[in-house]
């Protein structure tokens, strides 16, 4: 699940490549999205790379390659200007600071685009040092139905901390989790440590031990005996409020 800004950047890259035969530079991306600095572009690219949409190319002026494009690159929802009667469209204009075309209206949305469902919000989870185990289920939140499939197999958590920053997961984000007791190497999981603390980290298994790896160089990778870690779920989506 991509955020609005991530979808806008991916659409920008695809449109530039279609028009000019090459991907845009970081500066061109910044101008097209109206961002104040290239650091914002860098964060978005890291998140898109993490989700398998882009690949960064070292030592290149135009340093990204599209791996998995948007299904409909020309229809990227914008938060404003959407009253439920049509979808606002983001269309990048290259070379103009802060340029964004006026929103246009489609004749209607597909019924499946409007489908939503609810999942339980189960408290906060640490993206930093582990915190105490998950709280009891509180309120439900609404999410796109296509993101979760079977509601009973999913739950949501509020992220606390910045240890998964370089994976595009920030303090205050809401993560959507699919319940699971196992996960593949490299998956981002909810891990229960010693039956009492939970954390959101990337999982690696190593000959009878489990490594919980942060996506922020300020945090060290922690090793545990396999019997100390229980996987509670796997990350499948993220919600961010601007």
Q: Which two tokens stand for residue 190?
A: 């909810």
SS3 14: helix
* CB-facing half-sphere around the CA of 157: CA atoms within 13 A: 30
Using the Cα atoms of residue 219, residue 223, residue 226 and residue 227 in order, give the sign of their dihedral: negative
Q: What is the DSSP string of 58-117?
A: TT-SS-EEESS--TTTT----SSS--SSS-----B-TTSTT-BPPP---S---HHHH-EE
Catalytic residue among 74, 160, 201, 209: 201
Check if 111 is active-site.
Answer: no
Q: Which of 211, 227, 229 is nearest to 219 (CA)?
A: 211
Place of tokens 């999410």: 143
- The widest CA-to-CA distance across the chain, in whole angstroms, is 57
Report whether 52 contacts 68 (CB < 8 A).
yes
Check if 201 is active-site.
Answer: yes
Query: Strands 116-126, 154-160: parallel, antiparallel or unpaired by DSSP?
Result: parallel
Catalytic residue among 25, 99, 163, 209: 163
CA distance 199 to 164: 11
Show which residues are catalytic: 163, 201
């Amino acid at each position: 699940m991509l955020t609005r800004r991530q979808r806008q950047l991916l659409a920008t890259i695809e449109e530039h490549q279609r028009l000019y035969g090459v991907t845009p530079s970081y500066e061109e991306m910044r101008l097209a999205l109206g961002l104040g600095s290239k650091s914002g572009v860098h964060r978005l690219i890291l998140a898109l790379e993490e989700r398998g949409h882009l690949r960064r190319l070292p030592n290149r002026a135009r340093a990204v390659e599209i791996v998995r494009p948007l299904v409909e690159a020309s229809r990227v929802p914008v938060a404003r200007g959407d009253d439920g009667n049509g979808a606002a469209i983001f269309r990048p204009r290259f070379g103009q600071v802060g340029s964004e075309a006026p929103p246009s209206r489609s004749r209607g949305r597909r019924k499946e685009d409007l489908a939503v469902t609810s999942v339980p919000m189960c408290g906060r989870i640490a993206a930093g040092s582990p915190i105490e185990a998950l709280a009891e289920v509180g309120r439900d939140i609404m999410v796109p139905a296509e993101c979760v499939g079977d509601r009973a197999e999913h739950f949501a958590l509020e992220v606390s901390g910045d240890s998964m920053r370089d994976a595009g997961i920030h303090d205050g984000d809401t993560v959507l989790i699919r319940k699971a007791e196992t996960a593949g190497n490299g998956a981002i999981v909810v891990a229960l440590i010693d039956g009492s603390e939970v954390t959101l980290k990337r999982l690696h298994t190593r000959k009878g031990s489990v490594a919980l790896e942060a996506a922020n160089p300020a945090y060290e990778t922690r090793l545990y005996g396999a019997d100390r870690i229980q996987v509670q779920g796997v990350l499948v989506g993220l919600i961010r409020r601007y």
